[in-house]
Amino acid sequence: MTPTRSAVQLSDGRELIYFDEDPGSGRSGYPDTRQLPPPPPASQLRYDPLTDEWIAIAAHRNTRTFLPPSDACPLCPTTERFASEIPAPSYDVVVFENQFPSFSDRIVPDELTQVTDMVPVRPGHGRCEVVCFTSDHDSAFGSLPPARVRTVIDALADRTAELSALPEVAQVFPFENRGVEIGVTLHHPHGQIYAYPTVTPKTAAYLRAAKRHFEKTGRNLYADVLAAEQEAKVRVVASNEHWTAYVPAAARWPFEVHLAPHRQVPDLPALTDAERDAFGPLYLDLLRRFDGLFGKPMPYISAWHQAVTGEGRELGYLHLELFSIRRAADKLKFLAGSESAMGAFVNDIVPEAAAQRLRDI
């Protein structure tokens, strides 16, 4: 069942949206009792002519909340003792504008249009949102029931559609970071959505490769990669009627899995009800396999790759990339000189062996 959507405004003017599984919850009736200062202005984008990339400068994010105690968690429901970002005393899934955004629509006129003749400057126009998966502070995405995962997917689809329609947004990126090893600053189960004003470097590289492949073959690049993995079978971890999960043949990370629908769709809003329902059980199975690798919670990044909103949209193929930096029970893969300085990855785990270990869980 599609969740009931209700939007409210926080005391500083930011938007918050409840996605309720019970239509009669009445959560939108709870006001934000805090007295918050105005949200910060948008970040500044500076162009790097050496790499043809835009870098966001967002100094206000240096003061963001860092690993607060559980009784002062800003993502838990509001209680009599603590007023959080969510005014209601409970919730299913909730999305709200980030208090410390990398991109926003709060543009302040700035006379600075360039740093040098080679480095133009523009506002970081876009939007950043926080997605809370459950009101249970001590839970995790992998502990959610499939019905709640469906609610999350519906919420992400809703936000993708709305944010993609903004004229300044080039790409919408939902993701989850889990684990202090990854760098999370809040323990509560949550993800984020970045609505970028530019196409990200990784997506730009995807698009260049996809365009070359289409011009050569007339086919979609990701569809061909997925078909090849399905035929090879050796790196497939799990699958169902609508989705396949596999370790890429050229995986960068010790444990990396792509989860892709069996038909080419540009983004989450394009998924059918059957595809949305089928995603949850398979994804939850993958998360349990990740946690089972070393018998403890696995730090991971879960990243949705969606089609861009403008030129090259027809080349996109929705898929989820799930990966961890843990390479052994007591070892992490840090981005060393080759990865950090040159972007040239060296993987410690053979992809076929990683797939087999995940299948064996």
d(CA 276, CA 285): 15
What values do phi and psi take at 167, rounded to 5?
-65, -25
- Residue 73 annotated as binding? yes
102, 56 in Cβ contact below 8 A? yes
Residue 46: HSE in the Cβ half-sphere, 13 Å Cα cutoff: 11
Q: How many other CB atoms are found less than 10 A from the CB of residue 40?
A: 17
Q: How far is the CA of 285 from the CAs of 97, 145, 182, 190, 351, in angstroms?
A: 30, 11, 21, 19, 19
The token duo for 167 is 């004229």
From 187, 190, 242, 258, active-site residue:
190
How far is Cα of residue 319 from the mean position of the Cα atoms in its chain?
11
What phi, psi does 63 have (nearest 5°)?
-105, 10
Distance (Å, whole) CA 176 – CA 188: 11
Amino acid identity of residue 141, one-letter, is: F
Rounded Cα–Cα distance for residues 227 and 218 (Å): 15
| CA–CA separation, 291 and 294 (whole Å) | 7
Binding residue per annotation — 76? yes
Q: Which helix (H) or strand (E) holds 282?
A: helix 273-293
**Cα–Cα distance, 270 to 317 (Å, whole number):** 11
SS3 344: coil
137 annotated ligand-binding residue: yes
**Is position 187 annotated as part of the catalytic site?**
no
132 is in an annotated binding site: no
For the annotated binding site for Zn(2+), the residues are 73, 76, 137, 188
For the annotated binding site, the residues are 73, 76, 137, 188
Could you list the active site residues?
Answer: 190
